[in-house]
Structure 1
Amino acid sequence: MSVAKAHNMPSCKDKKMLRMGTMGILCRGTKVLIIRRRLKTPEIRENGPPDTWAFPGGALEKGETPEPAMKREYKEEAGVKVTIQPIGDEPVWGETDDYLVDDWRCFFFIVKQVDPNEEPNIMEPQKHVDLMWIDWNELWALISAQIMDETAGGAKEDASGKDNMRFFPSMINMVKKYPLRSDAACLEKRL
């Protein structure tokens, strides 16, 4: 589905427009960049405790479309300029419909750094606490484990007593919606 078509789709629940957001998948071989977000609630807007991991990205601003929003968000959050790498004839790698505080549609893009010598950094410490490169298969396995734990009502601590990595709802829904994309080859072609 094209971004233009998806951007204009109403919510299935009540025929109102969804809020729109983006996430960008930046690859180095089979590793992808993820960023640890701080907790954000209606009461806590900034400087919350460490919370979930996700790809860099965020909400569209008024009048903005997903592609420019993705580029803007990457620069704001990770300090690097990116371009969108189409997969086949579509710019969008995938999309999810999520319920956060309200209905939310998230567009996922494969992105490439304009300058591969730039190193991503935390640019908004009031919103993010860490970033890391993680192998695609490991990321997929960790998100899948979180889904299984939550389905089974499982524990959220590992043997060391530390919290396991927890993932943003759009990341969880990505794994649920696209189970065949667990192979890193999906970052270069449609599977």
Structure 2
Amino acid sequence: MTAVINVVGAAIVDSLDAPGRLLVARRTAPPQFAGMWEFPGGKVEPGETPEAALHRELAEELGIEVQLGPELESGSVAGWVLNKRACMRVWFAEITAGRPVALEDHDELRWVTLVDDEESLALPWIPADLPIVRALLERVSAPA
């Protein structure tokens, strides 16, 4: 039996206190996902905490440092199911240092509004990320 691959992602917002925009990244590979949008992040390495992995991945992929906010809960301890072999945990994050640049794995970054669901949902998301996007939109639109 193959172990589940633990993946982390960041819902990078313009403000943890009052999110109005989300930073999304367009993949360059693998071929079946090239041109699709996702939450930046990556695999958790052995011996690494999910939070440490997310900080490392965002520095490598986007050249930024972030403050992590709450986790976007999936209802499962493992996180959001991506496929038969991988699950992803997603945290809200706010940039604290650096300016995001597509350094690895992406060819474009874009800020999309969280006020109008249509703009966010109109992007061609990696299919496994779409339920996470919908949950994020519900979370930010819910009264505090």
2:76 maps to: none
Displacement of 1:170 in angstroms is 3.2
Would the alpha carbon gap of residues 55 and 49 (structure 1) be closer, same or farther in structure 2, given more than 3 Å must change?
closer
2:103 maps to: 123
Q: Give a deviation string over 1:29-48, Cα, whole Å, max 9, x none.
A: 4001001011315xxxxxx9
More helix by share: 1
Would the alpha carbon gap of residues 63 and 27 (structure 1) be closer, same or farther in structure 2, given more than 3 Å must change?
same
Q: Which runs of 5+ in 1 are unaligned?
A: 1-13, 42-47, 87-91, 146-164
1:31 maps to: 21
| 2:53 is the alignment partner of 1:69 | yes
Q: Which runs of 5+ in 2 are unaligned?
A: 74-78
Q: What is the root-mean-square deviation of aligned Cα atoms in Å?
A: 2.8
Would the alpha carbon gap of residues 25 and 128 (structure 1) be closer, same or farther in structure 2, given more than 3 Å must change?
same
Partners of 1:38 and 1:62 in 2: how far apart? 25
| Equivalence map 1:41-56=2 (5 Å) | 50-56=34-40
Would the alpha carbon gap of residues 173 and 17 (structure 1) be closer, same or farther in structure 2, given more than 3 Å must change?
farther
Would the alpha carbon gap of residues 113 and 175 (structure 1) be closer, same or farther in structure 2, given more than 3 Å must change?
closer
Displacement of 1:128 in angstroms is 1.1
The letter for the 1-side match of 2:28 is R
1:141 maps to: 118
Aligned to 2:82, the other structure's residue is in SS state strand
Q: Which has the higher contact order (CA 8 A, sep 6+)?
A: 2
Would the alpha carbon gap of residues 80 and 141 (structure 1) be closer, same or farther in structure 2, given more than 3 Å must change?
same
Would the alpha carbon gap of residues 113 and 144 (structure 1) be closer, same or farther in structure 2, given more than 3 Å must change?
closer
Size of the aligned set, in residue pairs, is 135
The letter for the 2-side match of 1:64 is E
Q: TM-score, normalised by structure 1?
A: 0.60
1:93 maps to: 72
Computing the radius of gyration from Cα coordinates, the structure with the larger value is: 1
More strand by share: 2
1:104 maps to: 86
Would the alpha carbon gap of residues 107 and 182 (structure 1) be closer, same or farther in structure 2, given more than 3 Å must change?
same
Displacement of 1:137 in angstroms is 4.1
| Equivalence map 1:152-191=2 (5 Å) | 165-175=123-133, 178=135, 181-182=137-138, 184-185=140-141
Partners of 1:109 and 1:172 in 2: how far apart? 15
